[in-house]
Amino acid sequence: MKFLIVANWKCNPKTIKEAQKILKGYKAPKNVELIVCPPLVFIPQLKGNVSFGAQDCFYGEGAFTGEVSPTMLKSVGLRHVIVGHSERRVLFNETDEIANRKMKAILQEKLIPILCVGENREERESNETFEVIKRQIGEGLDGVAKDKVKNIVLAYEPVWAIGTGKFASAEKIQQVKIFIKKLINTKYGAKASEKVKIIYGGSVDSRNIASYLSDAGMDGVLVGGVSLRIKEFNQLLKAVK
Ligand code: 13P
C-alpha cells in the first residue's frame, strides 16, 4: 500500500510560473501516491507525474456565481476533492450541513472526498476533541450509503496545528485514528472501517512525518506550507516510510 500524500497549496503561489517551478521540482518516491491540489485555475498549465485534486467544490450547478461542481472537476480528470477544510469552515462559514451536501455530490460522481475534521484550540483545551470529531463525521456522512464509504478519505487536522508549527503527539493522533475507525465501524461495519483511509494534517514536515506514519499508523498526510517549498517538500517525501 502506498502512503497518500496530499499537497494543499491553498491560495498560493501568486503566478503560474511559480506554480510550474514548484511542481517541476517535486520528486515523489515509489511508495507515495501524491495528490497535488493547486488553485484550479493553474491546473491546465501544470504538467507533472502527479494526480491533481481540488481544494473545494460546490454541490450544485446553475446560478451559483463563482462555484465549480464535482461533475466539472470530474470532466477535467480530477479524482480527489478536499471538503470541509477548517479554513472553509472558519473563514467562509461552511457548516457540517454544507460539507455533507458536498460529500454527497462528490460521491455521486464517484470522486474521492477528503473530509477534514478536527478541533480548535478552545475545544482542545476543554477536552472536546472526540465530541467535535464525532459531530463532524456524523453530520458530514449523514445519509451517505454504505457502498460509498470505502472511497472516502478522512483527514484529522486539528485547527490549532495548522500553519502554527505546533503538532499533536503520535499517541494522541493514534487515539483519534482509533476513535474514527470505531465511528465508521459502528455506522457502516468492519469492512468499511478497514477501507477508509485516515490521514493527518497540521504543520507536517520532514522531521515529524515519521511519527504520524509509523508511530501513529496514519495512511498519509495533508501538507500545506511545506508543499510550496521544493527542497523541504522533497525531504518530507524522502522521509515517508
Ligand atoms: P500546514 O501544513 O501549513 O500546517 O497546513 C495544513 C493544512 O491545512 C493542509 O490542508
**Residues, the chain:** 241
Q: Average pLDDT of 149-171?
A: 95
Mean pLDDT of 230-235: 98
The confidence band for 30, taking pLDDT boundaries of 50, 70 and 90, is very high
Cα–ligand 1 centroid distance for 62 (angstroms): 31
Residue by residue, DSSP assigns 41-83 as GGGGG---SSEEEES---S--SS-TT---HHHHHHTT--EEEE
Q: State the residue for C-alpha cell 485547527.
A: 159
Measured CA to CA in angstroms, residue 37 lies from 40, 91, 206 at distances of 8, 19, 19
Q: Is the distance from CB of 223 to CB of 6 less than 8 angstroms?
A: yes
* pLDDT given for residue 154 in this prediction: 98
Tens of pLDDT, residues 56-70? 999 999 999 999 999
Between the CA of 189 and the centroid of ligand 1 the distance, in Å, is 31
| Amino acid 167: pLDDT | 85
Pseudo-torsion of CA 180, 132, 39, 104, nearest 10°? 70
Per-residue pLDDT, 189: 97
- Of 192, 171, 172, give the one whose Cα is nearest residue 183: 192
Q: Is the pLDDT of residue 162 over 90?
A: yes
φ/ψ of residue 113, rounded to 5: -80, 140
Helix (H, G, I), strand (E, B) or coil at 34: strand
| pLDDT at residue 78 tops 90 | yes
Q: What is the pLDDT of residue 197?
A: 97
Average pLDDT over residues 138-164: 96
Q: How confident is the model at residue 146 (pLDDT cuts 50, 70, 90)?
A: very high
157 lines ligand 1 (CB under 6 A): yes
23-43: string of b/e by CB count within 10 Å (b at 16+)? beebebeeebbbbbbbbbebb
Nearest-CA residue for ligand 1 atom 2 is 224
Whether the predicted pLDDT of 139 surpasses 90: yes
Going along the chain from its start, the domains and CATH numbers come out as: 3-238 (3.20.20.70)
Confidence tier at 233 by pLDDT (50, 70, 90): very high
190 CA distance to ligand 1 centroid (A)? 30
Active-site annotation, residues: 85, 157
List the one residue out of 230, 199, 212 whose CA is nearest residue 33: 199
201 CB within 6 A, ligand 1: yes
Comparing CA positions, the residue from 79, 66, 92 lying closest to residue 36 is 79
Question: What is the mean predicted confidence (pLDDT) over 73-88?
Answer: 98
As a whole number, the mean pLDDT across the chain is 97
Note the pLDDT of residue 168. 87
Nearest residue to 136 (alpha-carbon basis) of 94, 189, 79? 94
Please name the residues in contact with 128: beta carbons below 8 A apart, sequence gap of 6 or more.
119
Q: Can you give the pLDDT at residue 131?
A: 98
Q: What is the pLDDT of residue 1?
A: 85
Residue appearing with cell numbers 454527497: 104
Residue 205 reports pLDDT greater than 90: yes
Secondary structure class of 86 (helix, strand, coil): helix
For residue 2, pLDDT over 90 is answered with yes
**Is 223 touching ligand 1 by the criterion CB < 6 Å?**
yes
Residue closest via CA to ligand 1's atom 7 equals 224
Asked if the model's pLDDT at residue 137 lies above 90, the reply is yes
**pLDDT band per the 50, 70, 90 thresholds, residue 49:** confident
Instruction: Over range 138-149, report the average pLDDT.
Output: 96
DSSP string, 122-147: HHHHTT-HHHHHHHHHHHHTTT--HH
Is residue 48's pLDDT more than 90?
A: no
Residue with cell 517535486: 26
